[in-house]
Amino acid sequence: MHSSWSYNLETPVYVGKITAPTGLFINGAFVDGSNNSTIDVLNPTTGEVITQVSEGTSKDVDIAVEAAETAFNTAWGLKVPGSVRGKLLAKLATLMEESTDELAAIEALNSGSTYTVMREWRVPMCIAFIRYYAGWADKISGQVIETDERKLTYTRHEPIGVVGQIIPWNSPLLMFAAKIAPALAAGNTVVMKPSEMTPLTALRVCTMVQEAGFPPGVLNVVVGYGNTVGAAMSSHMKIDMISFTGSTLTGRTIMEAAAKSNLKNVTMELGGKSPNIIFNDADLDQAVKWSTRGIFLNQGQMCFAGSRIYVQSGIYDEFLTKFTAQAMQRRIGDPFNPDSNQGPQISSHQTERIMGYIKSGIEDGATVHYGGYRHGGEGGNFITPTIFTNTTPGMKIVREEIFGPVSIVIKFDDQEDVIRQANDTTYGLAAAVFTQNISQAFEVGHALKAGTVWVNCYTELSPGIPFGGYKQSGIGREYGSYALEHYVNVKAMHVNIGHKLP
């Protein structure tokens, strides 16, 4: 039977009991999966089992979709004014805010990200997303369009219906909040699949969804594997849209299933191999600090990580020296240690994958300038921040997304050449430019083929600013009013006022 998981933490930064349900959340209640099977949820810091959660199946997806469809038709969608949806989202944000410390602790325990980052940045950002879209809920409107005096023409922005959402493990609560908020604000109902590795914060927030008073079936969470739950959602004939964040390879599979089923709408935020360009005139110390954050934050497990660092020849040596010093100062360890600013990779599988890329770089002739090894021995999931130099454009470590704390520092001479190198990728998620020349910043920023370009900063995100990629980094946009456009159908209304046919 489904139950709640609880854990007593006594750490330097958090002391208290943390809890989360372990069942699937369907139609407003926590239930067992149809097979009564479970999934082990591991602590990436130790490899130990935190708890077991119910495993969802395709049958559970059917049940969740049925609940979502019923809720859309009877208790949400066009039945509930945007003002009411906004109040419920605002209440959810308040409940999350009241549990900030606990949510940060669950996230740190389950994902390996440091508690300090979760408490001071990530969880507040999640709450900000919910509040932002709470404010949008009663402001989603169409237009009155002039034609002639005999006719009233206007558009309506109507919710699509049942939306399927699939999120990854690297920022589980942030992804959860950023997905559900625009979908619910627009009047859709949701069937969500969090990663089977990091489901605990999503399930904990579902208790707050209950407390806030959302009608049953508006939000449903089915934990399960991609090849079962994810596949069932992608091909489901009653799911009207899929929003996916994850790898480009999985994104292709989902698009194919969506096309072969009911041609459902898709939005995708996929991988990246983002260039970070630093010119001779940049504020060097700031460029080093932002670049360190841009690649090593969250153990490098960020789709927009600035992994390709292009440094102009005039400051290359000095930048490399200072950047290396920053990497050496990274404090690797337990996410609940206040001195730690880098935790473990999410799993042993991911750790082996990253180490495989490091081995590939060495075999291809690149120089490991710093790092390149596991921290604390072979048994753990900790990897030392790694810096490669002397790479060539065709190397695997230069072209493929590593999704770990591995950077490549590349020397360049002129602006035209670095733009060419930066755009020489199948990805186009993000990029950065560091320069004190504002004209150069605009010129290079506009030339880069990326959905986000940071100037003299990195990893800056905001609920109101769109995020998404060019090329194989995705389709559509998350965040801001741009995200809402994907969650509505536009209906044109032609109302004859006085035109009579002869």
425 plus 480 within the same structural domain: no
Residue 501 in domain: no
Distinct helix (H) and strand (E) counts, the chain: 16, 21
Same domain, 201 and 282: no
The token pair at 42 is: 């591991």
Between the two ends of the chain, the Cα-to-Cα distance in Å is: 71
Residue 366 lies in a domain: yes
Assess whether 52 and 150 both reside in one domain.
yes
> Are 281 and 264 in the same domain?
no
- Alpha-helical segments (H) within 137-278: 172-185, 200-212, 231-234, 248-260
Instruction: Give the per-residue pLDDT at 2.
Output: 64
CATH of the domain at 293: 3.40.309.10
Distance CA 168, CA 253 (A): 15
Quote the domain boundaries for residue 66.
4-270+475-490
Same-domain check for residues 143 and 169: yes
Helices marked H in 99-122 — which ranges? 100-111, 115-117
Question: Is residue 500 assigned to a domain?
Answer: no
Rg from Cα positions in the chain: 24
Residue 470 lies in a domain: no
- Distance from chain centroid for Cα 336: 23
Catalytic residue among 55, 107, 196, 269: 269
Q: Where are the alpha helices (DSSP H) in 400-449?
A: 415-423, 438-447
Packing angle, helices 172-185 and 123-136, rounded to 10: 10
Residues 439 and 480 in one domain: no
Pairing of strands 474-475, 29-31: unpaired
- Residue 468 domain-assigned (yes or no): no
**Contact between residue 367 and residue 333 where contact means Cβ atoms under 8 Å apart:** no
pTM score, two decimals? 0.96
416 among known catalytic residues: no
Strands (E), 382-480: 386-389, 406-412, 430-434, 452-455, 474-475
Q: Which residues contact 170 (CB under 8 A, 6 or more apart)?
A: 111, 298, 301, 302, 303, 346, 403
CB proximity list for 337: less than 8 A, separation 6 or greater: 11, 12, 13, 331
Number of domains the chain is built from: 2
pLDDT at 1: 53
Residue 32 lies in a domain: yes
395, part of any domain: yes
Distance CA 325, CA 313 (A): 19
Q: Do 377 and 402 belong to one domain?
A: yes
Kindly state whether residues 126 and 213 are assigned to the same domain. Answer: yes
CATH of the domain at 82: 3.40.605.10
Name residue, tokens 């032609």.
494
**218 and 282, same domain (yes or no):** no
Q: Is residue 83 located within the same domain as residue 228?
A: yes
Residues 264 and 282 in one domain: no
Burial 252-282 (b: 16+ CB within 10 A, else e): ebbbebbeeeeebbbbbbbbbbbbbbbbeeb
> Locate tokens 């050449």: which residue?
417
Kindly give the confidence (pLDDT) of every residue in the chain, 502 residues in length, as a single tens digit, with 9 standing for 90 and above.
567 899 899 999 999 999 999 999 999 999 999 999 999 999 999 999 999 999 999 999 999 999 999 999 999 999 999 999 999 999 999 999 999 999 999 999 999 999 999 999 999 999 999 999 999 999 999 999 999 889 999 999 999 999 999 999 999 999 999 999 999 999 999 999 999 999 999 999 999 999 999 999 999 999 999 999 999 999 999 999 999 999 999 999 999 999 999 999 999 999 999 999 999 999 999 999 999 999 999 999 999 999 999 999 999 999 999 999 999 999 999 999 999 999 999 999 999 999 999 999 999 999 999 999 999 877 789 999 999 999 999 999 999 999 999 999 999 999 999 999 999 999 999 999 999 999 999 999 999 999 999 999 999 999 999 999 999 999 999 999 999 999 999 999 999 998 899 9
**Whether residues 179 and 37 fall in one domain:** yes
